[in-house]
Amino acid sequence: MNQPVLGPTVVAYADLPARYGVQYEIRPDGCVIVLPPPRWWRRIEVVTPLLFILLVIGPLFYDDATKGEFGSMLVLLIVAGGFGVFTRFALLRGRPLVLEVTASEVKVGNAQPVLWTGAPVTHTLNYPRAQVYDVQYVPHSRNIVLRVHGSEMMEFRPTQSPDLNRWIAQQLRRALGFPA
């Protein structure tokens, strides 16, 4: 019998990963999932100064402008310029989340574990593939749990979308050869 030849998997435009800008590649020994960094309005280091400008500096400028004084306008322009420079550097700091399953390892790059109180994780966590024994999506918390022999479990939330987190867990399970 003739066996069908499978080509590269093409993700349709309207599929779930494509809607969120997720890059997904199936490899013979695993897969690679790359998630873009969060949008600027979901990043606390960008939103906090913006709210400060709008709620504190903005009313001061409005009061002075109604009186015909424009000294606070200069302060507002300086603060807004500083905010622009700060925002640019904050946005450049955003790194994509990279989940990779290879023949020998499971790599989790730039994932922030749940309840992590230290500095943001900016490195890749590598686990031997043979030691990974479970990947689960937890519906009530919308987190993904990665369980590894000889290590604490890693619980992280890659996105705010429960559907996308469920899809990521399913793809990791498929790549690791776990039952769906």
Could you report the per-residue pLDDT of 73-104, keeping only the tens digit for each?
A: 667 677 777 777 776 666 656 778 899 999 99
Whether residue 28 is found in the same domain as residue 114: yes
Buried/exposed code over 121-143 (b: 16+ C-beta within 10 A; e: otherwise): beeebebebeebeebbbeeeebb
**Does residue 72 sit in helix, strand or coil?**
helix
List the chain residues with pLDDT less than 70.
Answer: 1-14, 40-43, 45, 57-58, 60-65, 68-74, 76, 87-93, 117-122
Whether residue 108 is found in the same domain as residue 167: yes
Q: Please, is 97 exposed, middle or buried when counting C-beta atoms within 10 Å of its C-beta (0-12, 13-18, 19+)?
A: buried
Q: How far is residue 10's CA from residue 39's CA, in Å, rounded to a whole number?
A: 26
Residue 7 lies in a domain: no
* R_g over Cα of the chain: 22
pLDDT at 93: 62
What are the CA-CA distances from residue 35 to residues 84, 100, 153, 156 (Å)?
25, 11, 21, 13
Is residue 122 a contact partner of residue 110, using CB atoms and an 8 Å limit?
Answer: yes
Whether residue 71 is found in the same domain as residue 103: no
Whether the pTM exceeds 0.75: the reply is: no
Range of the domain at 23: 16-37+96-176
pLDDT at 137: 96
pLDDT at 172: 95
Whether residue 118 is found in the same domain as residue 159: yes
Whether residue 167 is found in the same domain as residue 102: yes
Q: How far is residue 114's CA from residue 124's CA, in Å, rounded to a whole number?
A: 16
pLDDT at 171: 94
Could you tell me the CATH number of the domain that includes residue 166? 2.30.29
**Does residue 164 sit in helix, strand or coil?**
helix
What are the CA-CA distances from residue 176 to residues 65, 77, 80, 81, 88 (Å)?
63, 54, 49, 49, 38
For CA atoms 43, 46, 49, 55, the dihedral sign is: negative
Whether residue 81 is found in the same domain as residue 157: no
Whether residue 20 is found in the same domain as residue 52: no
Whether residue 134 is found in the same domain as residue 109: yes
Whether residue 33 is found in the same domain as residue 45: no
Q: Please list, in sequence order, all residues whose beta carbon lies within 8 angstroms of the beta carbon of residue 50, skipping any fewer than 6 positions away.
A: 83, 87
Whether residue 88 is found in the same domain as residue 120: no
Q: Which two tokens stand for residue 57?
A: 């500096």
**Does residue 51 sit in helix, strand or coil?**
helix
DSSP state of 47: H
